[in-house]
Amino acid sequence: MTAREESDRRKFILRMARGAGIAALGGFVWSAYVDEVTASQLLLRPPGAIKEEDFLKTCIKCGLCVEACPYDTLLLAKPGDHKPLGTPYFIPRDIPCYMCPDIPCVPVCPTGALDEASVTTDGKLDINIAEMGLAVIDRETCIAFWGIQCDACYRACPILGEAISVEYNKNERTGKHAFLTPVVHADACTGCGLCEKACVTEKPAIFVLPKEVAMGKAGNYYIKGWDKNDEKRLEDATEIKTKTELSKESAVDSLNDEEVLYK
């Protein structure tokens, strides 16, 4: 092997190492950035949006849903919005989703990130089964819980009486008045945000959060035995067997064993 060949090979290896180094550096910075910008949880997607993780994969950021929305509800995340760049979302306090019966934003989606099947009942588009989020009430700042009569959210709700109902309670402070307080029902609420828009307090006391954020999860240990639907979860449940090793020693009768007591 001549010295020249050796130096060429050396050069080649060094160049490859340099390339790999730069690629690793760039790759890590790039990955870290992507990880950071896709971490935002607190945003509301258009109706029919698939699970957030899949949505980020599938949405091509074309804005066709935004253009289809007749109320300018939907926005595309701009640099500086601190949302996953280019993806559609809405801010209900500014412009809520008015729940068009023909849901123009969903069928135009070219990628299926907005899934038509998820807002279809019996072959017909049905906005009432959309799950954009869930309205949550802050009982501390909602003036209805102070005893002031207000049913702005209840009246604004497009699924009147089902997604938000009003509960009567005695006002013990005055002894002669009633509390008329709003209650949100998660099974009917679509998260359109009309209640948030209508709320009379300075900062809304009722606001929409993504369902994932707003709700807990009971898990598999708890089943509503009185609810046929919930009991179905038992159908594909498997028995959990725990094995505990039996103690080889015989039990000690500590209470009646005088020797132990009076030692």
Residues in contact with other proteins by the rule CB under 8 A? 19, 23, 26-27, 30-31, 33-35, 37-38, 53-54, 56-58, 60-64, 66-67, 75-76, 78-81, 84-86, 108, 110-112
Which one, 63 or 158, has the nearer CB to other proteins? 63
Beta carbon of residue 4, minimum distance to other proteins (angstroms, whole number): 23
Residue 27 or residue 101: which is nearer to other proteins going by CB?
A: 27
Between the alpha carbon of residue 148 and those of residues 144, 156, 166, the distances in Å are 5, 18, 13
Name the residue type at position 251: A
Nearest distance in Å: CB 78, other proteins: 3
In the complex, the smallest distance separating the C-beta of residue 49 from other proteins, rounded to whole angstroms, is: 14
Which residue lies nearer to other proteins by CB, 81 or 126? 81
Rounded-to-integer distance, Cα 190 and Cα 249, Å:
60
* Best CA proximity match to 167, nearest among 182, 155, 178: 182
**Helix ranges restricted to H, 38-167:** 52-58, 64-68, 152-156
Q: Which is nearer to other proteins, 114 or 134 (CB)?
A: 114
Q: Is the separation of the CB atoms in 208 and 134 below 8 Å?
A: yes
Smallest separation (angstroms) from other proteins to the CB of 60:
5
> 75 pairs with which residues across the strands?
89
67 and 73 in contact (C-beta within 8 Å)? no
Least gap, CB of 117 to other proteins (angstroms) = 12
Nearer to other proteins, 75 or 103 (CB): 75
CA distances from 212 to 40, 98, 112, 117 (A): 13, 22, 21, 20
Nearest distance in Å: CB 186, other proteins = 28
Least Cα distance to 200 among 134, 254, 146, 262 occurs for 146
Q: Helix (H, G, I), strand (E, B), or coil: what is residue 116?
A: helix
Cα 259 to chain center, whole Å? 63
Nearer to other proteins, 87 or 190 (CB): 87
